[in-house]
Amino acid sequence: MNTDQEQPISVTRDENQCRVDAMVQENRQIKHSDIALKLDISQESVHHIIETLNYRKFCARWVPRQLTDPIKEHRKTDAQEFLNRYRLKGDDFLKSTATGDESWVHHYGPENKRQSMEYRHPGSLSVNKFKTVHQQKKVMLIIFWDARGMLHMEFLTKGSTVNSERYCATL
């Protein structure tokens, strides 16, 4: 029996684990190949050490914007005010509340079967009508709703800007 097989592999010793751990702690985006090169060990060994240390790679979550502390405080104040109103008025408060949002949507107006009807002679060639023909245009949709359902929906014209003035004009 080979004595080398009985001893732990040198690259997975505590020393290399500590070095790999330190490198990952220093740079969370470091690549296996960079660690292997710096420590002069194989990428497979690096992979094994990283698994032993229970590290997993995750993608960052994209968010629309970073909220500043004043904005967070303002949102917290608004939320507390809404909760207080709900405590005072209950479901009546919810029924009197409307909200809105805007989104880009694909807009197309497919012609239905009845709209495609036309007069033909018995010997005329038949025309095929495909179910959907997208015009692949994106338009901005503004929609408002309350507890009972949709209140208002509006497609904006090209070049329109959605801001507080636009919302006031719509309402």
3-class SS string, 77-113: HHHHHHHHHHHHHCHHHHHCCEEEEEEEEEECCCCCC
Say if 83 falls within a structural domain.
Answer: yes
Question: Do the Cβ atoms of 75 and 117 come closer than 8 Å?
Answer: no
Q: How many structural domains does the chain have?
A: 2
Residue-wise pLDDT for 107-153, tens only, equals: 666 666 666 666 666 776 776 666 555 555 788 889 999 988 999 99
Q: What is the pTM of this model?
A: 0.42
One domain for residues 140 and 78: yes
One domain for residues 93 and 148: yes
- In this prediction, residue 3 carries a pLDDT of 46
| Mean of all residue pLDDT scores within the chain | 81
One domain for residues 29 and 99: no
One domain for residues 23 and 96: no
One domain for residues 149 and 108: yes
Instruction: Estimate the crossing angle of helix 32-39 against helix 14-26, to 10 degrees.
Output: 130
Say if 126 falls within a structural domain.
Answer: no
Using DSSP, state whether 133 is helix, strand or coil.
coil
- Pairing mode, if any, of strands 137-146 and 149-155? antiparallel
Name the CA radius of gyration of the chain, rounded: 31
pLDDT exceeding 70 applies to what percent of the chain? 77
Say if 117 falls within a structural domain.
Answer: no
Structural domain for 36, as ranges = 7-52
Residue-wise pLDDT for 32-49, tens only, equals: 999 999 999 999 999 999
Burial level of 141, CB count in 10 A (0-12/13-18/19+)? middle
Say if 1 falls within a structural domain.
Answer: no
One domain for residues 99 and 140: yes
The DSSP letter of residue 138 is E
Say if 124 falls within a structural domain.
Answer: no
Task: Quote the CA–CA distance of 98 and 53 in Å, as a whole number.
Answer: 50
One domain for residues 39 and 98: no
One domain for residues 30 and 74: no
